[in-house]
């Protein structure tokens, strides 16, 4: 077993650690730790007991469980408190909250992009860490109950019980519907949304929204529900930053997303402002999650200026 063989599993392990932690940066660190542990323990690996892949997932899962001890879950703003009523409220970031981060699709192969939708990852964060591990290992990665029991040093009965409780929590959070991949209808809605966004056509944007659409902008704890407040806030954005924005589609969490570039205040060109992820259902935008933190945007490899 060489480093090349171990590194071949990096992409899928990164997705696994992201599902567990909700942080792309933490996932990369944990995968690096996993591969180092595996390399150091290579002489003790027994191929008769498990494949290299199964062995690596055991190391990665337990590294995640250790990292999650004593940590708060990573939420989205809509998972905390009630929606805002004032579209002119102060835009003060909540820097003390470990917000859920997006995941750049470019860091994965296509096979590893399943079950990465942002709202589903947010719902999974509601689970205790071991239930989270059981759910991901059983339902996303399709390990058997016996394999999961071996990985977590527990019994098959305990695995089945944890999976049942995890499913109940996700059903209560209405998360299952958020796992469907984007199709042609979603892509068409994204194209219309981008055209309206670049044209600063707020009525057209509002016309694409579901009646209970959510707009959230971590690290702001402030969030809005419904087309009226959504539209009023977008009016505020264009008044503050000007019109004539540019957009570029990007891959994030296996769903509709784009990078937004605001007119540069210091001369010609446009500066990277945000990466925005859209949830689309029945031809309408149901949620927009806007990320502006430069540290969160950096892994997307986007140009800072157009």
Write the pLDDT tens digit of every residue in 87-102.
899 999 999 999 999 9
For residue range 153-168, list pLDDT tens digits in order: 999 999 999 999 999 9
Q: Where are the alpha helices (DSSP H) in the chain?
A: 3-7, 10-21, 24-40, 52-68, 118-124, 129-135, 145-152, 156-172, 184-198, 202-207, 227-241, 294-297
What integer pLDDT is reported at residue 1 of this predicted model?
A: 63
Sign of CA dihedral 245, 249, 250, 251: positive
Which carries the bigger pLDDT value, residue 184 or residue 209? 209
pLDDT for 176 equals 46
Structure tokens at 111: 């096979």
pLDDT at 252: 94
Structure tokens belonging to residue 288:
């927009």
Q: How many residues does the chain have?
A: 306
Q: Take residue 35 and report the two structure tokens written for it.
A: 């591969």
* Cβ-count burial 215-233 (b if 16+ within 10 Å, e if not): bbbbbbbbbbbbbebbbeb
Q: Where in the chain is the domain with CATH 3.10.450.50?
A: 181-300
Please give the Cα distance from 177 to 51 (Å, whole number). Answer: 33
Question: 74 or 187, which is more confident?
Answer: 74
Residue 196 Cα to chain centre, angstroms: 25
In the DSSP assignment, the letter for residue 71 is P
Main-chain dihedrals φ then ψ at residue 265, nearest 5 degrees: -75, -15
Categorize the per-residue pLDDT at 110 as very low, low, confident or very high, splitting at 50, 70 and 90. Answer: low
Tokens of 11: 């992409």
**Integer Cα distance of 266 and 182 in angstroms:** 38
CATH classification code of 181-300: 3.10.450.50
CA distances from 39 to 12, 27, 48, 67, 79 (A): 18, 18, 18, 20, 39
Lookup: tokens for 167: 């499913």
Q: Where in the chain is the domain with CATH 1.20.140.160?
A: 3-82+116-178
Q: Is 215 helix (H, G, I), strand (E, B) or coil?
A: strand
**∠ at Cα 58 (123, 251), nearest 5°?**
45
Cα three-residue angle 298-302-306, rounded to 5 degrees: 135
CA nearest neighbour of 235 among 197, 289, 271? 197
Gap between the Cα atoms of 148 and 246, Å rounded: 46
pLDDT tens-digit series, residues 14-50? 999 999 999 999 999 999 999 999 999 988 888 888 8
Which residues have C-beta within 8 Å of that of residue 292, sequence separation ≥ 6?
217, 273, 274
Q: N- to C-terminal Cα distance for the chain?
A: 45
d(CA 207, CA 241): 22
* Separation CA 259–CA 127 (nearest Å): 31
% pLDDT > 70, the chain: 95
pTM: 0.93
What is the model's pLDDT at position 155? Answer: 96
Report the candidate in 136, 76, 104, 101 with the shortest Cα–Cα distance to residue 254.
104
Fold of 3-82+116-178: Butyryl-CoA Dehydrogenase, subunit A; domain 3 (1.20.140)
Q: What is the mean pLDDT of residues 267-280?
A: 94
């Amino acid at each position: 077993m060489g480093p090349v063989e171990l590194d071949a599993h990096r992409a899928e392990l990164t997705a696994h650690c992201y599902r567990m932690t909700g942080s792309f940066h933490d996932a990369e660190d944990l995968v690096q730790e996993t591969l180092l542990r595996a390399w150091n323990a290579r002489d003790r690996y027994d191929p008769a007991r498990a494949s290299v892949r199964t062995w690596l997932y055991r190391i990665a899962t337990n590294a995640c469980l250790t990292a999650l001890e004593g940590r708060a879950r990573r939420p989205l703003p809509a998972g905390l408190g009630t929606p805002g009523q004032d579209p002119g409220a102060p835009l003060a970031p909540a820097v003390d909250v470990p917000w859920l981060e997006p995941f750049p699709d470019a860091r994965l192969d296509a096979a590893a992009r399943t079950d990465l939708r942002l709202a589903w990852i947010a719902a999974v964060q509601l689970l205790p860490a071991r239930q989270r591990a059981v759910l991901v290992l059983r339902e996303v990665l399709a390990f058997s109950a016996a394999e999961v029991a071996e990985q977590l040093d527990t019994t098959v009965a305990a695995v089945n019980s944890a999976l049942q409780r995890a499913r109940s929590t996700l059903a209560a959070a209405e998360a299952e519907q958020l796992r469907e991949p984007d199709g042609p209808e979603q892509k068409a809605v994204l194209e219309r949304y981008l055209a309206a966004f670049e044209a600063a056509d707020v009525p057209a944007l509002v016309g694409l929204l579901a009646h209970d659409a959510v707009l959230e902008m971590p690290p702001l704890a402030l969030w809005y529900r419904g087309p009226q407040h959504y539209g009023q806030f977008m009016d505020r954005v264009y008044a503050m930053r000007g019109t004539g924005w540019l957009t570029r589609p990007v891959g994030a969490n296996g769903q509709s997303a784009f990078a937004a570039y605001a007119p540069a205040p210091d001369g010609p060109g446009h500066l990277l402002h945000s990466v925005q992820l859209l949830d689309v259902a029945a031809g309408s935008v149901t949620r927009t999650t806007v990320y502006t933190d430069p540290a969160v945007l950096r892994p997307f490899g986007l140009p800072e200026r157009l």
